[in-house]
Amino acid sequence: MLTRRLFNQMGLGGVALLASPVRKAWAAGERPTITIAVDNLWANIAPINGISTTTRRFFPNFYDHIIDRDYIADEQGLVLAPRLATEWTQNGKVWTIQLREGVKFHDGETMTAEDVAFTLSAERLWGEKPYEPRGKTFTAGFVRVEATGPLTVEIETEREDPYIPGKLTGYIGFIVPKKYYLEQGVDGFGQMPVGTGPYKVTKFRSGEVLEMEAFDEHWNGAPPAAKLIWKIIPEYAGRMAGLVSGEFDFIANIPTDQEAQLESYSDVSVKRALAGNYPAFAFNCRPDPEDNPLVDVNLRKAMVQAVDMDAIVTALFGDKTFHPAVPFNFPEYGKFYDPDMPNPLPYDQEAARALVAMTDYKGQVLDWHITRQFYPNYEAAAEIMVEMWRQVGINVRAVILDNFDLVYTRPYHMMNMSMSTDFIPGDPYQPLWLDWGPTSSRATATWKTWDPTPGYLEAGKVFAEATDFEERKAAYLKLSEEWQKVTPGFYLWKSIYNWAHRADITWAPRADGEMRMFDNYIALPA
């Protein structure tokens, strides 16, 4: 049998190793280059136009937040910490943000309140024709953002909004330099961005590689690595082999069923975090196609009761994640979360059959549009669910399509989706109202799947305006109840982010998927 020793004795290994093509060594006392193999980068890395789970991995390495979520102090990241802002105070509808002094952008300019005001401005995010239109979603209620001093910014909102600091921990809180941004335009900026983060972007080829160098003038001191290289390695086999052989220091996105094998290597450490995101599917609740049986809420509820989601999640993920039995009752919502909340639609095939019997459904095939290999294990779960539905007399066909463009092409009865939960830390605003509300793409796009009901809209208005916790919790429960009356979707499980890295590196993952290569998130071997 050909072993590594025999191979080397044959001389082949010796020849290859002569040029050290594989394992890279870190010189003692020098700051190393960290190579991270990822499955994807993104076309544009401007903070808002580049929103994706992929970019979130590397954004905080070159952009700094105004306000940070501290996942080391709190596993759910519910503790807010100063970053570019040193303090923030509320006076009615106005928030005053005090900025850190002496912060430099990568182009050498000093950050001022003007830059921060521009970052959050109508011109860039929420005006008539903003540079990054998706910013509107995250700045609802903004009426004025103004630099009122060299290091002071005021944000005024329509109504009192206690959640502004939380909102600034998201994508809108990544600060950009006004002058450079306007010179480059949003597209140019998205190809060679400048921020205030601990590393500066030196090369970006969207389909290939992103390189960053240490920014030693960073306000919090020089970062631990001299260089970060984020390389696209599309095949998992290549990422895994490269990590084990020492070509890469980190890899991202490991198929769940491959984690155990990777963990068996002694010089590799596997990390995972439950993400603030839930894969789900939406029922098409509208009469489009005209004969859509899913307009009947009883059929939708029957489909929810017909699937044993706990069993499916255990089969596919073991105990690494869970199925949220009651929609929007998610553990990351702190005081809003009730672990004992009763499930109004538990797994019960008899109840499901009874609900089907109450409908006019005659066994028509329901098409479920699914994006190929977009959500880990989604297709496998779909196969099992289709069988469970068949057992109660509902015929679903999982239609696997190559991209979202095709998924959104009518006709369909169900479609895959996922929803994030972390826009406001510790508050269910995003999944419950932002993502299903009257301005959401789910209710407005050409491919929309539901029309919010008057009851939902009324409850949502109360919820959006509630600032006192008790009042807001009551409004949240009412809004959730209104949503469940319609049941326009079904949440499957909490997503898992996973990574692996050299075992001699100490690294702390974050539930928002950020791969921070600085501060107390990483310690490199001496």
Partner 1 sequence: MTRFWLFKLLRTLLTLWFVVTFTFIVLRTSGDPVVSLIGADALPEEIEQFREQWGLDQPLILQYLQYIVQMVSGNFGESLRDHRPVITIIAERLPWTLMLGLVAYLGAALVGIPAGIGAALRRGGAFDRAIMAFAVFGFALPNFFLGILLILLFSLWLQVLPSSGTGTIWHFVMPALTLSTFTAGTLARFTRSAMLEVLDKPYMRAAAAKGVPPVKRVLFHALPNAAIPIVTVIGLNIGHLIAGAIVIETVFAWPGIGRLLVTAVSSRDLAVVQALVLVIAATMVLSNLAVDLIYGLLDPRIRVGGR
Q: Which residues bind partner 1 (CB under 8 A)?
A: 4, 7, 12-13, 16-17, 19, 21-23, 37, 43-44, 49, 51-52, 129, 133-134, 136-137, 187-188, 190-191, 205-208, 231-235, 237-238, 240-242, 244-247, 402-406, 408-409, 417, 441, 444-445
CB of 11 to partner 1, least distance (A): 11
Show the tokens assigned to 285. Answer: 């609740």
In this complex, which beta carbon is closest to partner 1, that of residue 10 or of residue 357? 10
Q: Do residues 369 and 412 make contact, with C-beta atoms less than 8 angstroms apart?
A: yes
In this complex, which beta carbon is closest to partner 1, that of residue 68 or of residue 367? 367
Show the tokens assigned to 34. Answer: 């960290």
Distance CA 115, CA 147 (A): 9
Q: What is the 3-state secondary structure (H, E, C) of 310-341?
A: HHHHHHHHCCCCCCCCCCCCCHHHHHHCCCCC
In this complex, which beta carbon is closest to partner 1, that of residue 219 or of residue 404? 404
Distance CA 45, CA 515 (A): 15
Q: Do residues 58 and 209 make contact, with C-beta atoms less than 8 angstroms apart?
A: no
In this complex, which beta carbon is closest to partner 1, that of residue 305 or of residue 430? 430
User: Amino acid identity of 182?
Assistant: L
CB of 247 to partner 1, least distance (A): 6
CB of 203 to partner 1, least distance (A): 12
CB of 206 to partner 1, least distance (A): 4
In this complex, which beta carbon is closest to partner 1, that of residue 49 or of residue 61? 49
Q: Do residues 270 and 262 make contact, with C-beta atoms less than 8 angstroms apart?
A: yes
CB of 240 to partner 1, least distance (A): 7
Q: Do residues 41 and 181 make contact, with C-beta atoms less than 8 angstroms apart?
A: no
CB of 75 to partner 1, least distance (A): 27
Please tell me whether residue 507 adopts helix, strand or coil conformation.
strand
Largest interatomic CA distance in the chain? 78
In this complex, which beta carbon is closest to partner 1, that of residue 244 or of residue 466? 244
Q: Do residues 502 and 208 make contact, with C-beta atoms less than 8 angstroms apart?
A: no
CB of 192 to partner 1, least distance (A): 11
Task: Scan for tokens 């028509």, then name that residue.
Answer: 364
Show the tokens assigned to 518. Answer: 């600085």
In this complex, which beta carbon is closest to partner 1, that of residue 13 or of residue 344? 13
CB of 368 to partner 1, least distance (A): 16
Pairing assessment for the beta strands 395-401 and 506-507 based on DSSP bridges: unpaired
Show the tokens assigned to 500. Answer: 């692996």
In this complex, which beta carbon is closest to partner 1, that of residue 11 or of residue 342? 11
In this complex, which beta carbon is closest to partner 1, that of residue 165 or of residue 376? 376
Nearest to 497 by CA among 513, 517, 508: 513
201-215 as b/e: b if 16+ CB within 10 A: beebebeeebbbbbb
Q: Do residues 121 and 128 make contact, with C-beta atoms less than 8 angstroms apart?
A: no
CB of 92 to partner 1, least distance (A): 30
Q: Which helix (H) or strand (E) holds 454?
A: helix 454-465
